[in-house]
Amino acid sequence: MSRLEKTFTKLRSEKLTALIPFVTAGDPTPETTVPLMHAMVEAGANIIELGVPFSDPMADGPVIQRSSERALKHNVSLTDVLHMVSTFREKDISTPVVLMGYLNPIEVMGYGEFASQAASAGVDGSLVVDLPPEESDEMTEHLKRHAIDPIYLLAPTTTEERMDKVCQSASGFVYYVSLKGVTGASSLNVAQVAIKLSQIRKHTSLPVGVGFGIKNAATAALVGVVADAVVIGSAIVNQMEAFAETPEKIAPEIAKLLIEIRHGMDDATQRRNAV
């Protein structure tokens, strides 16, 4: 059983929702990332989504784009990101780590080499934003050979036919992008999210995580009642940007934010379970 499967199975047995924070590796400095990963786990994160810096992150809004720019000022590469995961694994062998990024750095490294190095480092899943399942057979073959879950995105505009295709290709969990547009967008309608999750679950038994537009503990709590996982990205990266000049403050500040979100999610799910 993979780390992702173990994590979701445990949370399901406890009737809790996974909290998945996103940070860009190397933002604002390479030395910040691994201590921050540990701090997030201590604050209640169940899975870490680690962004691979890229010069043209087209699915990301301005906040996360700037986080890539800060990391790239330190020349943080895919190899560096894998080394960070490996360092994280020296102290944490149980928390799943999912890499989120774009295809170009992986193609430069080579699919087979990427899958091999990622597995050796302790990566559990790979979400490549610009690699749709229709074009991912070769990549998926290498990932699965090394027991890494390929994770795919579904959007509000995804048709039933394509939803089925994506769900058949995915493993680990399915990531539902709850808003049209880029990361950091607003106006999340939780009722609409719940309807969409019901449709998605007709096509898969995998856990379904929800991201984009979840900015605070209140929104995370509402989404956490209907989703299997809540992904927090821009809200965290906003905080990191605010403390970019004082990186020693980042881990405590992000931990404080995640503790608040974790408590909000758990209180909401407990109220749901008590009904």
Active site residue 27: no
Identify the helix (H) or strand (E) that includes residue 209: strand 208-211
Q: Active site residue: 31, 42, 49, 260, which one?
A: 49
Q: Active site residue: 27, 60, 149, 241, which one?
A: 60
User: Which pair of tokens denotes residue 171?
Assistant: 């493993």
3-state secondary structure of 127: strand
- What share of residues in the chain are helix, strand, coil (percent, to 5)? 55, 15, 35
- Burial readout 96-128 (b: 16 or more C-beta within 10 A, e: otherwise): bbbbbbbbebbeebebeebbbbbbebbbbbbbb
Active site residue 245: no
User: Which pair of tokens denotes residue 167?
Assistant: 């769900």
**Residues with catalytic annotation?**
49, 60
